[in-house]
Amino acid sequence: MNNSTFTLEMKVRDYECDMQGVVNNAIYQNYLEHTRHEALLSLGESFNDWTEKKIFPMVAKAEIEYKTPLKSGDKFNSELFIERNGARYLFHQKIFRKNDNKLCINAIIHIIVVQNGKLTRGDEFAKVLSPFIHDKD
Amino acid sequence: MNNSTFTLEMKVRDYECDMQGVVNNAIYQNYLEHTRHEALLSLGESFNDWTEKKIFPMVAKAEIEYKTPLKSGDKFNSELFIERNGARYLFHQKIFRKNDNKLCINAIIHIIVVQNGKLTRGDEFAKVLSPFIHDKD
Amino acid sequence: MNNSTFTLEMKVRDYECDMQGVVNNAIYQNYLEHTRHEALLSLGESFNDWTEKKIFPMVAKAEIEYKTPLKSGDKFNSELFIERNGARYLFHQKIFRKNDNKLCINAIIHIIVVQNGKLTRGDEFAKVLSPFIHDKD
Amino acid sequence: MNNSTFTLEMKVRDYECDMQGVVNNAIYQNYLEHTRHEALLSLGESFNDWTEKKIFPMVAKAEIEYKTPLKSGDKFNSELFIERNGARYLFHQKIFRKNDNKLCINAIIHIIVVQNGKLTRGDEFAKVLSPFIHDKD
């Protein structure tokens, strides 16, 4: 089960498109966040459970490359796997348009884990997410 | 096929919830719009096709009753049927929480059809949507 | 000070516009909510203070007439006054485009006040908002 | 006028905050986009004018560091200057909380200019934005 990739199929909704007729740039962060939360749910945990345990996974940095814009009605696959770098969890997230498998978004989202207001190594977080954590070469 | 109801299953995404921990009131209008556009798609037409034909279905009025708030992760069914009242199309839209079938949203969205900047009776619109148009008693 | 109207000047942001090149219908509810919260702030209270006191003003119903669409860059005035109807507070909210004072939105938002999970008359709420509560004729 | 920085003062709206009680990560991209469009407007051009001229400035990459979360009601300054790197315009954008001048967001947004479907050097774009373009050391 380790080294697996989580995939979520989604579809563009018209209200997510802007005046240019394509999905607004900010909306992709919604897609990426939703994919992370669904990946956690697929492992039996919810983002809210963590919040209630006072363990807060937080985005420290987002690096997002916009490759091909999605349009009204496009279906897409949103994929992720995780690389651990000490106390930093690098979520490698890609979005592919479904009809031609074209890469739309190529992102690395840096997650840190804060507990009682302090940065931690996030070992409990790592344990739960281990199926999606890939070893570095 | 006439007098049928269109149903779309959806699921709350965490970014749609606000500080109160429930889906923000404005987001339900996103759900309702998306349901209308998917109903149209289910009949082989897209909202954008209409825009290109210079036929603009527009919301003239929204009446939305908020009955039970949806929360993070809730699945729900978004249903609609249409009642025609002259040049006004009344979209009767309801949202039910899936796990207990509780009514969350009870809405009537008034749609008018504008062509070349003028209000029309929307007969072409009515023809396409006829499967979901219910006769008045 | 009684019988006064609260007014907030705002400006359309491009990301609020959709493929039709106008402000998306759901966004007006954001404007209306923000106006209500700023009206409360103008009286020295915040919506969050209420939440912490476990007094929850909630939208029970929204009736929104869409009169003229706002476009990219439009400035507008968002106005409100309140009419009390027993345990229901009717927020009469209008949005006027600034350059020609044209009516864009004409809305009545029904607010109820829930405390300890029960509907209340909201007398504390009424006291704070009294400057904006208009007597019925 | 060259080497100047554009600053826009804004305020967090409650509907922009999520279940964690802070501004949702995606919303900062709305703030950053709005700041870029207002910077253009301050120079007498609108983003829509460019679209009509078939000149499309597009986000190719966003690098966003999340330093301090903004909360309900926080006022903030959103600043930008531009560094040109051949055909790529690097918008250096920072968001500072107003009450203590704390850095909230530190971002570099890479803009490219597409004309007739082809990447261009964007010289017309550069000319208009020149007041905010800083020389590299």
DSSP string, chain D: -TT--EEEEEE--GGGB-TTSBB-TTHHHHHHHHHHHHHHHHTT--HHHHHHTTEEEEEEEEEEEE-S--BTT-EEEEEEEEEEETTEEEEEEEEEETTT--EEEEEEEEEEEEETTEEE--HHHHHHHGGGEEPP-
**Is D41 in Cβ contact with C73 (below 8 Å)?**
yes
Neighbouring chains of B at 3+ CB pairs under 8 Å are A, C, D
Residue D2 pLDDT: 66
- Can you read off the two tokens belonging to residue D101? 């001048």
| Cα–Cα distance, A20 to B91 (Å, whole number) | 28
Is the pTM higher than 0.90? yes
Q: Tens of pLDDT along chain A (137 residues)? A: 468 999 999 999 999 999 999 999 999 999 999 999 999 999 998 888 888 888 899 999 999 999 999 999 999 999 999 999 999 999 999 999 999 999 999 999 999 999 988 999 999 889 999 999 997 75
Interface test with D, best of A48, A66, A105 (most D CBs within 10 A): A66
Residue D31 burial (CB count, 10 A): 25
Q: Is the pLDDT of residue B1 over 50?
A: no
pLDDT band for B2, please (50, 70, 90 cuts): low
B–D interface: beta-carbon pairs under 8 A = 22
- Can you read off the two tokens belonging to residue D35? 């700041």
The DSSP secondary-structure symbol of B42 reads: H
Q: Tens of pLDDT along chain D (137 residues)? A: 468 999 999 999 999 999 999 999 999 999 999 999 999 999 998 888 888 888 899 999 999 999 999 999 999 999 999 999 999 999 999 999 999 999 999 999 999 999 988 999 999 889 999 999 997 75
Nearest C-alpha neighbor of B28 from the set B127, B137, B109, B84: B109
Residues D96, D100, D103, D104, CA torsion sign: negative
Among the residues of chain A, which ranges form H helices?
25-42, 47-52, 123-129
Give the residue carrying structure tokens 């690395």. Answer: A108
User: What tens digit of pLDDT does each residue of D5-40 get?
Assistant: 999 999 999 999 999 999 999 999 999 999 999 999
Interfacial residues of D (vs B; Cβ cutoff 8 Å):
14-15, 17-19, 21, 24, 26, 72
Contact D3, D135 (CB under 8 A): yes
Supply the residues of A annotated as catalytic. Answer: 18
Q: Which residue of D has its CA nearest to A58?
A: D66
Closest in A15, A34, A72 to B30, CB measured: A15
Residue C1 pLDDT: 46
User: What tens digit of pLDDT does each residue of C42-100 get?
Assistant: 999 888 888 888 889 999 999 999 999 999 999 999 999 999 999 999 999 999 999 99
| Cα–Cα distance, C97 to C74 (Å, whole number) | 7
Q: Which residues on B lie below 8 Å from A15 (Cβ)?
A: 30, 33-34
The DSSP secondary-structure symbol of C68 reads: S
**Is A59 in Cβ contact with D66 (below 8 Å)?**
yes
Q: Provide the shortest C-alpha distance from residue C67 to chain B (in Å).
A: 7
Beta-carbon contacts of B121 under 8 Å, excluding residues fewer than 6 positions away, are B86, B87, B113
| Cα–Cα distance, C24 to B30 (Å, whole number) | 9
Note the ipTM here: 0.95
- Can you read off the two tokens belonging to residue B15? 């970014």
Interface test with D, best of A23, A35, A63 (most D CBs within 10 A): A63
